Amino acid sequence: MPKIQLTKDQLGQIAAGVLFGALFIYVYAVYFWMPIAAKIAVNSKMVASMGSDISRAKMQKAKYKDLEARLASLRAEKEVAQKMLPKERKFPDLIKTLTALSRKYKVEIQSITPGGVTREEYFTKAAYQITARGDYHSLGRFMTALGMEERILTMQDLILSGTPGADTSASATFTLTAYQYNG
């Protein structure tokens, strides 16, 4: 094989080509490949982290399958509790309840006198002095129905007086206490 003889110009062109090639490889590596490789590494770590978060969330979801059903039942329990112990005084609702029960049990409410309000740690007690008239059994059913109402109501200081003779008429004076939540 014959020896290749290169001139100085050809050697200069080859050296310039090698130099520009090396310069191009350096610029490509520093400005394109290394930053993209760093972004790929960061994004790979983020993907791995998100994957572990997703698997943990799936495990928790499987652990709490009935979480929405439990939440719905807790909301229903909250509504029942708020009816039993409302946040507002709701005096008109109390009057409607007393009126409806008095009609149902044929009891005549003669007076309702608002009393004092006592504030406790978790609830407030509003007292009402009530005088009612009816026959003995009707008064008993009326007061029992008051005690069984959805809202928490208590009766205290009951004074029951009857009319002697054939008439079974009786009158009752008591303090009705309605409770409300302080939350």
Does 53 fall in a domain? yes
CA distances from 40 to 31, 48, 65, 114 (A): 15, 12, 36, 75
CA distances from 138 to 90, 129, 148, 161, 174 (A): 26, 19, 15, 14, 15
Same domain, 176 and 113: yes
Same domain, 43 and 104: no
What residues have CB less than 8 Å from 136, skipping those under 6 apart?
A: 162, 168, 170
What pTM, to 2 d.p., does this model score? 0.56
Q: Which of 124, 118, 128 is nearest to 85 (CA)?
A: 124
Mean pLDDT, the chain, whole residue set: 85
pLDDT at 6: 79
Confidence band for 64, pLDDT divided at 50, 70 and 90: confident
Does 92 fall in a domain? yes
First to last CA, the chain: 103
Please determine, for residue 123, whether its predicted confidence score (pLDDT) is greater than 90.
no
- Helix, strand, coil tally for the chain in percent (to 5): 55, 25, 20
Does 58 fall in a domain? yes
Same domain, 108 and 53: no
Does 95 fall in a domain? yes
Structural domain for 56, as ranges: 7-65
Distance in angstroms (rounded) separating the CA atoms of residues 1 and 169: 141
pLDDT digits (tens, 9 = 90+) for 136-169: 889 989 999 988 888 888 899 999 888 776 567 8
Does 18 fall in a domain? yes
Domain of 116, CATH number, reads: 3.30.70.60
pLDDT digits (tens, 9 = 90+) for 80-94: 766 666 666 677 888
Q: Which of 133, 115, 132 is nearest to 124 (CA)?
A: 115
Domain count, the chain: 2
Same domain, 171 and 90: yes
Same domain, 151 and 108: yes
